[in-house]
């Protein structure tokens, strides 16, 4: 007879008690802040659908990184907006490309801050797809070469970690091999292992100017209906040499974060994507939801589900609140 012997409310009676028995705690060191770097100087262009996030020129990016470091945030992940785009995504693997220049500047100005880079082609191709387009679809094996070159180029510029987000088959293995051959055997790979073809990337594509000009990404990103397939993707990426595996988006896929945590012993990351961020902001702007509480509850849920690392546009305000 559990009641009245057991009263679950006893441990909820004060903040001191609630804090004592709290199972999930957030720490700024587990957040990674996504940043968008663009050409120019003194550029700080707010992204309409993502309040508080900007396209930043390198000089402004460096300031943002100094702030991230001061707040104890675990690291940043860089996305580039190149000067020009072409069929071959040549801006992605150019040693003088926008991300490569940004890495060198952050290294110089903010030593000690962890710099991860998104390795993908969609910001660099004229058509906005994540690789070489042949007969109306992305060619897997040709794209692998671009990705490997990009990863090595980022490592050469000083990136601490590379994060392929393209969803080509075999890209983790191709990148690992190229990094090792290039003298970067110590550079870890954070694989966007289970990345879904999600509508929640909408605001990002405005931020990174990377929307596909025709078709969609369903021939390479995953079908949102498939959880078992997500576990296979993660398993394969680990076999190919991924050091950290990620589930993306986060909130609509908490079940898969939990399954991944239970099945694999590697660090698990989750990406709270642009649409998740924008929805919370939009509701808050309408007065329908409390922004800070929604931010903290969403992050807590993602960590409770099993993610030890969270890529989130809330990294700065959340770190400030935890600070
Ligand atoms: C690049 C990439 C995307 C995101 C991260 N890397 C966009 C896409 O796949 O279309 C989405 C991030 C977000 O929505 O916050 N391929």
Q: Are 120 and 148 in contact (CB under 8 A)?
A: no
Rounded Cα distance between 86 and 94, Å, is 13
Among the listed residues 197, 314, 300, 286, the one whose alpha carbon sits nearest the alpha carbon of residue 251:
300
Domain boundaries along the sequence of the chain? 26-322
- Dihedral of alpha carbons 302, 167, 281, 311, sign: positive
**Which of 164, 204, 279 has most ligand 1 atoms within 8 Å of CB, for mutation?**
204
- pTM above threshold 0.95: yes
Strands (E), 51-168: 54-56, 75-80, 115-119, 133-134, 137-138, 161-164
Q: Which of 210, 280, 314 to mutate to test the pocket of ligand 1 (most atoms within 8 A of CB)?
A: 210
DSSP E strand boundaries for 169-229: 190-195
26-322 maps to which CATH number? 3.20.20.70
pLDDT (tens digit, 0 to 9) for every residue of the chain, 323 residues total?
799 999 999 999 999 999 999 999 999 999 999 999 999 999 999 999 999 999 999 999 999 999 999 999 999 999 999 999 999 999 999 999 999 999 999 999 999 999 999 999 999 999 999 999 999 999 999 999 999 999 999 999 999 999 999 999 999 999 999 999 999 999 999 999 999 999 999 999 989 999 999 999 999 999 999 999 999 999 999 999 999 999 999 999 999 999 999 999 999 999 999 999 999 999 999 999 999 999 999 999 999 999 999 999 999 999 999 98
H/E element, 151: helix 140-157
Nearest ligand 1 atom to the CA of 311 is: 15
Rg (CA), the chain: 20
């Amino acid at each position: 007879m559990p009641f009245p012997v057991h009263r679950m409310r006893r441990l909820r009676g004060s903040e001191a008690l609630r804090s004592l028995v709290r199972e999930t705690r957030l720490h700024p060191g587990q957040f990674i802040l996504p940043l968008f770097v663009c050409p120019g100087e003194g550029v700080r262009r707010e992204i309409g659908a993502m309040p508080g996030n900007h396209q930043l020129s390198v000089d402004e990016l460096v300031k943002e990184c100094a702030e991230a470091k001061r707040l104890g945030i675990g690291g940043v992940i860089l996305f580039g907006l190149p000067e020009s785009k072409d069929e071959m995504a040549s801006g992605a693997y150019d040693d003088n490309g926008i991300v490569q220049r940004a890495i060198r500047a952050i290294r110089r100005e903010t030593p000690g801050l962890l710099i991860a880079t998104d390795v993908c082609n969609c910001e660099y191709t004229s058509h906005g797809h994540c690789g070489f387009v042949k007969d109306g679809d992305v060619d897997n094996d040709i794209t692998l070469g671009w990705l490997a070159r990009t990863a090595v180029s980022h490592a050469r510029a000083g990136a601490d970690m590379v994060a392929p987000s393209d969803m080509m088959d075999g890209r983790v293995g191709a990148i690992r091999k190229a990094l090792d051959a290039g003298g970067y055997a110590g550079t870890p790979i954070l694989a966007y292992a289970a990345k879904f073809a999600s509508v929640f990337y909408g605001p990002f594509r405005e931020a990174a100017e990377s929307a596909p000009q025709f078709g969609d990404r369903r021939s390479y990103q995953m079908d949102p209906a498939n959880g078992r397939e997500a576990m296979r993707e993660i398993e394969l990426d680990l076999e190919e040499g991924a050091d950290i595996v990620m589930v993306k988006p986060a909130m609509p896929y908490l079940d898969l974060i939990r399954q991944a945590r239970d099945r694999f012993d590697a660090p698990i990351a989750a990406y709270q994507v642009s649409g998740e961020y924008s929805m919370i902001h939009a509701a808050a702007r309408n007065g329908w939801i409390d922004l800070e509480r929604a931010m903290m509850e969403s992050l807590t849920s993602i960590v409770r589900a099993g993610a030890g690392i969270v890529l989130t546009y809330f990294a700065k305000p959340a770190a400030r609140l935890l600070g």
